[in-house]
């Protein structure tokens, strides 16, 4: 009797693990957000190092911030999507970056609690064309792959300290 129960238990576990394995390998359907970002990515592919070095100076604000799956195919969570905020609360606002032609910059942010004061951190920036990496160092540190650029949008991909794939889309402020 114990042998039959053990065999049934093993068979049930094997069936569950097979079903679970199938569902994790099944491709996820492309969401509307995925389609919109993929279309923007297609528009931002024709750039080189000189385009970034010449086009980066100016003010850029977060336009989208997205959490991706391990393969960078599907959006898992949306924090900001083309100006619509899903995370920042109270009097806070989306962070922004200012880049200058001499390789300096500032990261501006508003604290998410009263009195909602604005602050900034200075950094030096450079673009490594060998691996398409934008590196910010100093008071604010970040290293990200430039996955797209077109003088209006800057698309940055990086893995955060939680080992999550993050895509940030910055939009240049046009006066």
Q: Taking 50 as the threshold, does the pLDDT of residue 13 lie above it? A: no
Compute CA distances 28 → 17, 36, 76, 106, whole Å: 19, 16, 10, 38
**pLDDT score at 117:** 86
**111-131: per-residue pLDDT in tens?**
877 888 889 999 999 999 999
Report the residue count for the chain. Answer: 175
Angle at CA of residue 69, ends 129 and 142, nearest 5°: 40
Which of 154, 145, 158 is closest to 173 using CA atoms?
Answer: 154
Bridge partners of 171, per DSSP, are: 61, 153
> Tokens 């390789």, residue?
103
């Amino acid at each position: 009797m114990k042998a039959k129960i053990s065999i049934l238990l093993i068979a049930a576990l094997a069936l569950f693990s097979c079903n679970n394995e199938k569902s994790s390998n099944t491709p996820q359907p492309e969401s509307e957000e995925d389609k919109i970002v993929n279309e923007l990515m297609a528009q931002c592919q024709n750039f080189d190092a000189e385009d970034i070095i010449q086009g980066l100076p100016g003010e850029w604000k977060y336009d989208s911030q997205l959490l991706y799956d391990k393969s960078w195919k599907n959006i898992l969570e949306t924090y900001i999507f083309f100006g619509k905020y899903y995370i920042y609360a109270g009097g806070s606002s989306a962070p922004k970056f200012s880049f200058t032609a001499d390789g300096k910059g500032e990261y501006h942010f508003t604290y998410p609690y009263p009195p909602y004061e604005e602050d900034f951190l200075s950094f030096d920036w450079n673009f490594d064309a060998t691996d398409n990496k934008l590196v910010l160092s100093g008071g604010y540190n970040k290293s990200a792959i430039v996955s797209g650029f077109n003088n209006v949008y800057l698309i940055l991909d990086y893995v955060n300290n939680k080992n999550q794939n993050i895509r940030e889309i910055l939009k240049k402020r046009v006066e």
